[in-house]
Amino acid sequence: MIKISHLKKSYGVGESKVDVLKGVDLEIGAGETVALVGKSGSGKSTLLSLMAGLDRPDSGAIMIRGKNLNQMSEKELTLFRAQNMGIVFQQFHLISTLTALENVSLPLMILHNTEAEQKARELIDEVGLSHRSGHLPSQLSGGEGQRVALARALASGPSILFADEPSGNLDEETGERVMDLMFDLVKKTKTTLILVTHDKELAKRCSRIVMLEHGSLV
């Protein structure tokens, strides 16, 4: 599913240059649930961002489903991401002017899915928010907002779900409920999960834990 070879990424120039990833090699199989862990600044969010095609590496290869992300144009990469990936962030990143239902419908509309609204309603119901489908993000609680973000990430039926500290902005009880939902949906849909987390107990729920330290796998 995912094969990363000699991946390097740095930020800044000259004396301010910071090597964030220092030649990472990693393979992840279809249906695996993998936790990326490490101290702040270890490179785990950067690695996820590169795998999701949100940023470009300095060198190395990222192969996903046999395609090299580095060789794609921005347009090709955007389409590939829309067809194959879902992403959940700590900050939710819902569009403030769209209702919960419209936020979930958006990835399907981008892919010109003629049943976008129906599929979105099914997903809103699956995350337990059918009674909130007409509400704007500002009218939702943190837990509700993250459930909408999760439904949106899974709307297009992606083969990979990337989640970057998805419970980081939630209280412990709400976070546990949302994470239970995420793992249930991933298992049900056989989706590959790449999870960045500092929560050791959450990491243990994954089938594999990958630790980064100073930009290298340890």
Closest of 38, 37, 39, 50 to residue 11, by C-alpha: 50
Tell me what the pLDDT averaged over the chain comes to. 91
Q: What's the whole-model pTM score?
A: 0.90
Please, how many CA atoms are within 13 Å of residue 90, restricted to the half-sphere of its CB?
Answer: 10
Binned at pLDDT 50, 70 and 90, residue 111 comes out as confident
Indicate if the pLDDT at residue 13 is higher than 90: no
Q: Please state, in angstroms and rounded to a whole number, the distance separating the CA atoms of residues 48 and 2.
A: 12
Q: What is the pLDDT of residues 150-162, one digit of tens each?
A: 999 998 889 999 9
**Mean pLDDT, residues 14-43 taken together:** 92
The predicted-structure confidence for 31-56, as pLDDT tens digits, reads as follows 999 999 999 889 999 999 999 999 99
Residue-number span of the structural domain to which 50 is assigned: 2-11+18-217
Q: What is the mean pLDDT of residues 116-134?
A: 90
Distance CA 146, CA 159 (A): 20
Q: What local confidence, expressed as pLDDT, does residue 110 receive? A: 83
Side chain identity at residue 196, one-letter code? V
Identify which of 118, 88, 44, 53 has the alpha carbon closest to the alpha carbon of residue 182. Answer: 88
Do the Cβ atoms of 116 and 156 come closer than 8 Å? no
Query: pLDDT value at position 85?
Result: 94
Looking at the structure of the chain, the number of domains it has is 1
Q: How far apart are CA 39 and CA 92, in angstroms?
A: 22
pLDDT-based confidence at 113, cuts 50/70/90?
A: confident
Core vs surface per residue 30-47: b (16+ CB within 10 A) or e? eebbbbbbbeeebbbbbb
Q: Which pLDDT score, from 0 to 100, does residue 68 have?
A: 94
Domain of residue 100, CATH code: 3.40.50.300
Q: Write out pLDDT tens, residues 169-208.
A: 888 888 888 899 999 999 998 999 999 999 899 999 999 9
Mean pLDDT lowest for which of 41-45, 109-113, 210-214?
109-113
